[in-house]
């Protein structure tokens, strides 16, 4: 466990000393990397007490200060780009260009949330004027509602985005923007990077005027679980495997006082190509598909796991050629390599599965797995018959082309086989209209959080209109973990009735000193309801 | 189980025949009224299949039609006022004026949600223009996000508001406004009223153009549980006891695919009076307190269960006089009378509890309980020492005056003894300022969903800025079940990427045919983040 902003300094900065030597266990995280099992209760209590104190102070700060601190965090990360990317390359096997881009994305994300804080729309301030003629037949007192931060939150970092979904990633940025102190449970796949990012960002936040304890790092599976169960923790977020996410979601729900748990778990991101769509996109279809499957060695939540094409599409040769040109890529860690190997073996061992490109998976002397893309093809009936084997997410560069017969009810097929995903993609013809395609789009909107009508689902934009979350098992809730709407996860509503102006939160005062957008229900208005 | 809008007509209208004779059980609802235990799976499947079909149709309707249907439902309830109020009086023992007012409130609520649907702000439409110069260094495709209905939902009706929190109450109104078909689990405390309201409202909705199956009624504990577990049900709401709510919340969380469960469970609604507040409010304090405690025989979620006053306040005589003038009131049903009797006995039997007004509880020949207010007084230390006995909610006309010593840290006291409530109230002096009172207000905002700085917490306004929901155990989530923000419980986000205009939902199309408010992020804007 480490606390980047206080306690006895160690060689890695101002973190508290780690409580012990990591012991090898199968962690609850989405891989098998060794993880510390020690849960030092008093140390955790101290971390959470600091978070509580930070929460009290944060509540009194003007938005401009919080926004400036988020900007400062982005700046500090930028100033350490080379060092951080180098650390990340070593610990994750991801490439320098990918990690450089991801760090840029992480900085943009912090700045976007800084602008969100400044604007204040997320506070959803509503004012009902006192109304002697209120429609209910009794006078309505002055009522002012706004959203306030929930309190200290725990963020379980992911392995596959060591910047953007880790210590200073989207969950942390949105929670800080909401005004919640964050306790990050480090992912054991990149421990040194986690500590260094925590040092850099926590220092920047404190230097910018936020209280100590605003961002803290803890390590170890048991410590993460203890934090999730701690009475003072008010919400948690997670990105990782279905298995680990379910365990943590159940823990959050079974607390004496259940807390919200926002988990992003598993998604296979189907891509459907209609006959007209095939005609329109054929020149770039194979290349685009393979690029989306193999980017970052397929270790992306939005990797297209299934490509549904009309029978006889004949994509095999072009896909095989594209796949053959993809260089070998290291998988994040040994646990992910083990999981990928098992999934790949299961898929390749299923009767009726035809290999388009077998790809490879070799181990190096350090136990790391190195993979090239594996693409297979099955008929829709085979997929239905072997759904228990074939439909699971394969975390790595494997994807399944599904041939569907002419006349297949694609909407019903999607609802049946792909009921919960982060994304669904439809490649239809440019002029393809009518009830079938409309119903297919509506079905995609019911079964996933983002519907693409062109392009590929990987490459998630960080922007106000993004939705990264969909029906179970894509996520445990209907929330998004990317985009400005992610801030809503860490807010709750409070109404003030009949309050003297000086006792109201600034955003709800008559003078509106923060200049936030507010909706007002005037006296007399209710008679028109 | 009954389905108000289809199936073989029975004598009570167009509901399906009830599956059997109610068997006496202790229901999961918040009282002990007999409840039907039979769960007719095929009948439930038919109900949910109708809801699914209704959902598909609702998704295609313009907001104006849904709004007009909600208005029509309000109109239909109004046209049946005398009949419905008479039924309600007989089944609940609540008074005619109270029930007439509650029906009015229920109609206003439906109309408020009609206006909410027309306005469309709840859709939170966000548009990111395609942007070749996007800050992430890769082009951003056109992205449009809006909130969409989650699907069929189950509403567990409450006993204590047979109109406003029952078949056509706030949960139903907000779910319908969101576009979700509703399956109401009737409360067994007012079965005939539930059936009649379902008939009236479902008919009005269908006549106004909504699909059959938009509103359906089911009865029986097992049927309610089976509905909550049904794969096609996407969310549930509940108002009732902590015990029943916890069971249902755990069921929702333990589904193979967990669904959101919005439960409003228990609240004791502390009222704190400072020394200056006592001076300012003394003339009306006792009368206001007793009126708020005894209205509807104290069977309100926001009844003040604790009144914290400075030691030596000497409110006893005035409170006793006010309490003595309150006429006897029937409790809702035998189960609630049993629960109230047990709680009252426990409180009166606690060492250190002083009786201000003993009140009464008698049973009539039908087993109904009739109560007058019981008010007791304890010192703060006694309350702390007997917290396990004294701090539970007493559902009925009982309240506890708590004398606190001069110098008590009221904020710490509240955080310790009253950590989760629907409301907290502070009666401070008109000019009382400074860090103590500010900290007390902030603590109230952390421990409850509505903070009142004058008046009494009973009498919840139905209005845009209301918050009816607070930290556990007040509610199972951070949502509100009253006010227009209640609609958010039944919505989820979906983003459309690169979609041709005609394949977008109308609210997201370029022409904005529904005229909803939208926020736009233009190309180039991201460079300023």
Which chain A residue shows the shortest CA-CA distance from B415? A232
pLDDT (0 to 100) of residue B30: 35
Higher pLDDT, A13 or A335: A335
pLDDT digits (tens, 9 = 90+) for B355-399: 999 999 999 998 899 999 999 999 999 999 999 999 999 999 999
Q: What is the dihedral of CA A410, A415, A418, A419, to 10 degrees?
A: 160
Contact between chains at B108 and A529 (C-beta distance less than 8 A): yes
Reduce the DSSP state of residue A366 to 3 states and report it. coil
| Interface test with chain B among A177, A463, A466, by most B beta carbons within 10 Å | A463
pLDDT digits (tens, 9 = 90+) for A492-517: 999 999 999 999 999 999 999 999 99
Contact between chains at B150 and A478 (C-beta distance less than 8 A): yes
* B301 is a catalytic site residue: yes
Contact between chains at B445 and A148 (C-beta distance less than 8 A): yes
In chain B, which residues fall in CATH 3.40.605.10? 41-122+152-254
Q: State phi, psi for B402 to the nearest 5 degrees.
A: -115, 120
Q: State phi, psi for A397 to the nearest 5 degrees.
A: -85, 60
Contact between chains at A453 and B477 (C-beta distance less than 8 A): no
Q: Indicate the range of A278-282, B10-14, B179-183, B474-478 predicted with least confidence.
A: B10-14
Higher pLDDT, A4 or A438: A438
Residue positions counted in chain A: 529
Highest CATH level, class, for B41-122+152-254: alpha beta
A428: Cα separation from own chain's centroid: 28
**Enzyme catalytic residues of A:** 264, 301
Q: What is the mean pLDDT of residues A122-128?
A: 98
- How many angstroms away from the CA of B358 is the closest CA of chain A? 31
Residue of B416, B127, B427 whose CA lies nearest to B276: B427
Strands A153-156 and A182-185, by their bridges, are: parallel
- How many angstroms away from the CA of A405 is the closest CA of chain B? 24
Contact between chains at B455 and A497 (C-beta distance less than 8 A): yes
Contact between chains at B151 and A455 (C-beta distance less than 8 A): no
DSSP-derived letter for residue A404 is: E
Strands B491-497 and B143-149, by their bridges, are: antiparallel
| Contact of A374 with A358, CB cutoff 8 Å | yes
Helix (H) or strand (E) segment spanning residue B371: strand B369-372
DSSP assignment of B200-251 equals HHHHHHHHTTPPTTSEEEE-SHHHHHHHHH-TT--EEEEES-HHHHHHHHHH
Identify the CATH assignment for B271-452 out of 3.40.50.10470, 3.30.360.10, 3.40.309.10, 1.10.3720.10.
Answer: 3.40.309.10
Six token digits for residue B149:
């209905």
Reduce the DSSP state of residue B434 to 3 states and report it. coil
Q: How far apart are CA A81 and CA A168, in angstroms?
A: 14
- How many angstroms away from the CA of B165 is the closest CA of chain A? 16
- How many angstroms away from the CA of A3 is the closest CA of chain B? 25
pLDDT digits (tens, 9 = 90+) for A151-173: 999 999 999 999 999 999 999 99
Contact between chains at B499 and A104 (C-beta distance less than 8 A): no
Contact list in B for residue A258 (CB cut-off 8 A) is 249, 253, 472, 476
In chain A, which residues fall in CATH 3.40.309.10? 271-452
In this predicted structure, the answer to whether residue A29 has a pLDDT above a threshold of 60 is: no
Contact list in A for residue B503 (CB cut-off 8 A) is 437-438, 441, 453
pLDDT (0 to 100) of residue B40: 63
In this predicted structure, the answer to whether residue B18 has a pLDDT above a threshold of 60 is: no
A411-428 burial, b at 16+ Cβ within 10 Å, e below that, comes to: bebbeebbbbbbbbbbbb
Q: Indicate the range of A27-31, A162-166, A365-369, A384-388 predicted with least confidence.
A: A27-31
In chain A, which residues fall in CATH 3.40.605.10? 49-265+480-489
Contact list in B for residue A437 (CB cut-off 8 A) is 503
Which chain A residue shows the shortest CA-CA distance from B449? A494
- How many angstroms away from the CA of B444 is the closest CA of chain A? 10
Contact between chains at B115 and A529 (C-beta distance less than 8 A): yes
Rg of chain A over all Cα atoms, to the nearest angstrom: 25
Contact between chains at A477 and B449 (C-beta distance less than 8 A): no
Contact list in A for residue B443 (CB cut-off 8 A) is none
Contact list in A for residue B254 (CB cut-off 8 A) is 250, 253
Bridge partner list, B235: B153
B160: Cα separation from own chain's centroid: 11
Residue of A319, A323, A325 whose CA lies nearest to A307: A319
Residue positions counted in chain B: 529
Contact between chains at A450 and B495 (C-beta distance less than 8 A): yes
Which chain B residue shows the shortest CA-CA distance from A145? B465
Contact list in B for residue A525 (CB cut-off 8 A) is none
Contact between chains at A478 and B491 (C-beta distance less than 8 A): yes
Q: How far apart are CA A103 and CA A99, in angstroms?
A: 6
Q: What is the mean pLDDT of residues B323-341?
A: 96
Q: Indicate the range of A280-289, B27-36, B177-186 predicted with least confidence.
A: B27-36
| Contact of A425 with A457, CB cutoff 8 Å | yes
Contact between chains at A478 and B260 (C-beta distance less than 8 A): yes
In this predicted structure, the answer to whether residue B13 has a pLDDT above a threshold of 60 is: no
B122-160 burial, b at 16+ Cβ within 10 Å, e below that, comes to: bbbbbbbbebeebbbeeebbbbbbbbbbbbbbbbbbbbb
Sheet holding B360-363, edge to edge: B329-330, B369-372, B360-363
Which chain A residue shows the shortest CA-CA distance from B496? A451
Mean pLDDT estimate for chain B: 92
DSSP assignment of A465-478 equals T-----TTTTBSSS
Residue of A56, A55, A29, A33 whose CA lies nearest to A185: A29
- How many angstroms away from the CA of A457 is the closest CA of chain B? 9
Q: Indicate the range of A310-324, B30-44, B51-65, B165-179 predicted with least confidence.
A: B30-44
- Number of Cβ within 10 Å of residue A175's Cβ equals 31
Q: With cut-offs at 50, 70 and 90, classify the pLDDT of residue A40.
A: low
| Contact of A457 with B117, CB cutoff 8 Å | no
Q: Is A18 left (phi over 0), alpha (psi -120 to 50) or beta?
A: beta
Higher pLDDT, A50 or A9: A50
pLDDT (0 to 100) of residue B8: 33
Contact between chains at B128 and A476 (C-beta distance less than 8 A): no
Q: With cut-offs at 50, 70 and 90, classify the pLDDT of residue B100.
A: very high
Contact list in B for residue A461 (CB cut-off 8 A) is 128, 134, 136, 140-141, 143
Nearest CB among B124, B136, B446 relative to A462 is that of B136
Contact list in A for residue B456 (CB cut-off 8 A) is none
In this predicted structure, the answer to whether residue A399 has a pLDDT above a threshold of 60 is: yes
Q: What is the mean pLDDT of residues B186-199?
A: 98
pLDDT (0 to 100) of residue A31: 38
Contact between chains at B141 and A455 (C-beta distance less than 8 A): yes
| Interface test with chain B among A263, A478, A479, A480, by most B beta carbons within 10 Å | A478
Six token digits for residue A527:
């008679």
Contact list in B for residue A483 (CB cut-off 8 A) is 145, 495
Q: How far apart are CA B333 and CA B300, in angstroms?
A: 14
In this predicted structure, the answer to whether residue B463 has a pLDDT above a threshold of 90 is: yes
Q: With cut-offs at 50, 70 and 90, classify the pLDDT of residue A41.
A: confident
Q: State phi, psi for A394 to the nearest 5 degrees.
A: -105, 110
Q: Does 2.60.40.10 match the CATH number of domain A49-265+480-489?
A: no
Q: Which residues contact A54 (CB under 8 A, 6 or more apart)?
A: A152, A181, A210, A211, A212, A213, A214
**Interface predicted TM-score (ipTM):** 0.93
Contact between chains at B495 and A126 (C-beta distance less than 8 A): no
pLDDT digits (tens, 9 = 90+) for B121-158: 999 999 999 999 999 999 999 999 999 999 999 999 99
Q: How far apart are CA A60 and CA A515, in angstroms?
A: 16
| Interface test with chain A among B179, B479, B495, B509, by most A beta carbons within 10 Å | B495
pLDDT digits (tens, 9 = 90+) for A174-199: 999 999 999 999 999 999 999 999 99
Q: Which residues contact B304 (CB under 8 A, 6 or more apart)?
A: B268, B269, B270, B271, B289, B292, B293, B399, B425, B456, B457, B458
Which chain B residue shows the shortest CA-CA distance from A56? B442
- How many angstroms away from the CA of A266 is the closest CA of chain B? 12
In this predicted structure, the answer to whether residue B14 has a pLDDT above a threshold of 50 is: no
Contact between chains at A128 and B446 (C-beta distance less than 8 A): no
Nearest CB among B150, B438, B495 relative to A466 is that of B495
From the candidates B102, B212, B264, B393, which is the catalytic residue? B264
Contact list in A for residue B496 (CB cut-off 8 A) is 445, 450-453
Six token digits for residue A452:
């693409």
pLDDT (0 to 100) of residue B41: 80
In this predicted structure, the answer to whether residue B521 has a pLDDT above a threshold of 50 is: yes
Which chain B residue shows the shortest CA-CA distance from A103? B136
Which chain B residue shows the shortest CA-CA distance from A456? B497
- How many angstroms away from the CA of B361 is the closest CA of chain A? 30
| Contact of B268 with B402, CB cutoff 8 Å | no
Q: What is the 3-state secondary structure (H, E, C) of A211-242?
A: CCCCEEEECCHHHHHHHHHCCCCCEEEEECCH
Mean pLDDT estimate for chain A: 93
Residue of A112, A99, A47, A17 whose CA lies nearest to A73: A112
pLDDT (0 to 100) of residue B31: 38
From the candidates B91, B180, B301, B393, which is the catalytic residue? B301
Nearest CB among A121, A467, A496 relative to B493 is that of A467
pTM of the model: 0.93
- Number of Cβ within 10 Å of residue A154's Cβ equals 30
In this predicted structure, the answer to whether residue B62 has a pLDDT above a threshold of 90 is: yes
Residue of B375, B205, B493 whose CA lies nearest to A450: B493
């Amino acid at each position: 466990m480490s606390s980047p902003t206080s306690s006895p300094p160690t060689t890695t900065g101002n973190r508290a000393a780690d409580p012990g030597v990591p012991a090898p266990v199968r962690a609850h995280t989405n891989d098998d990397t060794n993880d510390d099992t020690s849960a030092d209760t008093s140390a955790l209590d101290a971390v959470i007490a600091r978070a509580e104190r930070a929460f009290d102070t944060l509540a009194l700060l003007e938005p401009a200060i919080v926004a400036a601190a988020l900007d400062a965090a982005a700046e500090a990360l930028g100033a350490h780009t080379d060092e951080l990317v180098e650390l990340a390359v070593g610990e994750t096997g991801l490439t320098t260009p990918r990690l450089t881009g991801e760090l840029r994305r992480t900085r943009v994300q912090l700045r976007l949330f800084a602008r969100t804080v400044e604007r204040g729309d997320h506070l959803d301030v509503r004012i009902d004027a006192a109304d002697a003629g209120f429609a209910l037949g009794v006078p309505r007192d002055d009522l002012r509602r706004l959203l306030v931060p929930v309190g200290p939150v725990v963020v379980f970092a992911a392995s596959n985005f060591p910047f953007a979904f880790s210590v200073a990633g989207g969950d942390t940025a949105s929670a800080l923007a909401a005004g919640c102190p964050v306790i990050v449970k480090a992912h054991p796949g990149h421990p040194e990077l986690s500590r260094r990012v925590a040092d850099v960002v926590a220092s920047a936040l404190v230097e910018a005027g936020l209280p100590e304890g605003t961002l803290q790092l803890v390590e170890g599976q048991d410590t993460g679980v203890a934090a999730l169960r701690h009475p003072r923790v008010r919400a948690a977020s997670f990105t990782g495997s279905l298995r680990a996410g379910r365990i943590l979601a159940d823990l959050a729900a079974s607390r004496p006082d259940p807390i919200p748990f926002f988990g992003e778990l598993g998604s296979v991101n189907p891509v459907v190509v209609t006959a007209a769509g095939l005609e329109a996109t054929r020149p770039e279809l194979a290349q685009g598909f393979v690029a989306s499957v193999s980017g970052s060695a397929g270790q992306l939540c939005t990797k297209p796991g299934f490509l549904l094409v009309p029978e006889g599409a004949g994509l095999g040769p072009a896909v095989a050629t594209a796949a053959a040109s993809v260089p070998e890529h290291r998988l994040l860690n040994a646990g992910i390599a083990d999981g990928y190997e098992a999934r790949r073996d299961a898929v390749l061992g299923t009767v009726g599965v035809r290999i388009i490109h077998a790809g490879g998976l070799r181990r190096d002397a350090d136990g790391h797995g190195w993979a090239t893309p594996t693409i297979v093809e099955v008929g829709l009936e085979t997929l239905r018959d072997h759904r228990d084997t074939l439909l699971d997410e394969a975390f790595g560069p494997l994807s399944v082309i599904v041939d569907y017969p002419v006349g297949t009810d694609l909407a019903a097929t999607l609802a049946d086989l792909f009921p919960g995903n982060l994304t669904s993609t439809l490649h239809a013809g440019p002029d393809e209209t009518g009830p079938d395609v409309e119903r297919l789009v509506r079905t995609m909107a019911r079964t996933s959080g983002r519907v693409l009508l062109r392009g590929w689902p990987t490459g998630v934009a960080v922007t106000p209109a993004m939705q990264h979350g969909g029906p179970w098992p894509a996520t445990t809730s209907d929330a998004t973990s990317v985009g400005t709407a992610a801030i809503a996860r860490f807010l709750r509503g409070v109404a003030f009735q009949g309050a003297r102006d000086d006792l109201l939160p600034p955003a709800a005062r008559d003078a509106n000193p923060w200049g936030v957008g507010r909706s007002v229900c005037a006296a007399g208005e209710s008679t028109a309801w």
